[in-house]
Amino acid sequence: MQIIGNSPAISALRGTISRLAATDLPVLILGESGTGKEVVAQSLHYGGPRRDNPFIAVNCAALTETLLESELFGHEKGAFTDAREARQGKFELADGGTLFLDEIGDMSPGGQAKLLRVLEQKVITRVGGSATIRTNVRVVAATNAKLAQAVRDKKFREDLYYRLSVVALDLHPLRDRPEDILPLAEFFLDNFS
């Protein structure tokens, strides 16, 4: 993915991404809706050594706690009513690559606890299963929520916050960098004409 713009904020962001892409550090991307959080996550993935492995994105806000657990960790046949066959979760599908957890601030407390355990132990257990499965996944998370405030308000686990935010990138909205409007307009015009 290409990060378009010439503003000092975008130039600094490109430099930071090029340095971080070569690492396996967890990255927390903060910014308003529309600031390009997924583009940054893809740039981290495709600019680094995991580029030939999967990039899997999960919108945490779109899934209930029970569905999120099945989506992330998979499930065994018979684990619940509609589980007619075993299915890999996103952690298994992203093996060797990157798992992008979008809107992490909307994850339920139970989901946060389960995610923290996986990040600490590097193993998952499918819903309805007992075998542990090792994971080799770089986690990049993003949110438009004020996560530090959510931690202070006890709405987001402090230990998970620190585990996810080893490096935090704060993306500036376009209104704060008007010099990027024309390059973005030209980019989209070239792509869609």
pLDDT value at position 40? 97
Q: Output the pLDDT for position 64.
A: 80
User: In this structure, what token pair is assigned to residue 38?
Assistant: 């997924």
- Running along the chain, 193 residues long, what does each successive block of 10 average in pLDDT? 89 95 95 94 96 96 82 81 81 96 92 91 88 94 94 95 94 94 93 88
pLDDT at 142: 97
Q: Are 59 and 102 in contact (CB under 8 A)?
A: yes
Q: What's the DSSP call for residue 66?
A: H
Q: How far is CA 106 from the centre of its chain?
A: 13
Q: Give the closest residue to 135 by CA, choosing from 86, 73, 77, 76.
A: 73
Treating both helix axes as pointing N-terminal to C-terminal, what angle do 8-21 and 37-46 enclose, rounded to 10 degrees? 40
Confidence at residue 70, expressed as pLDDT on a 0 to 100 scale: 85
Cα 142–Cα 148–Cα 152 angle in degrees, nearest 5: 140
Angstrom distance (rounded) from CA 48 to CA 182: 29
pLDDT value at position 79? 64
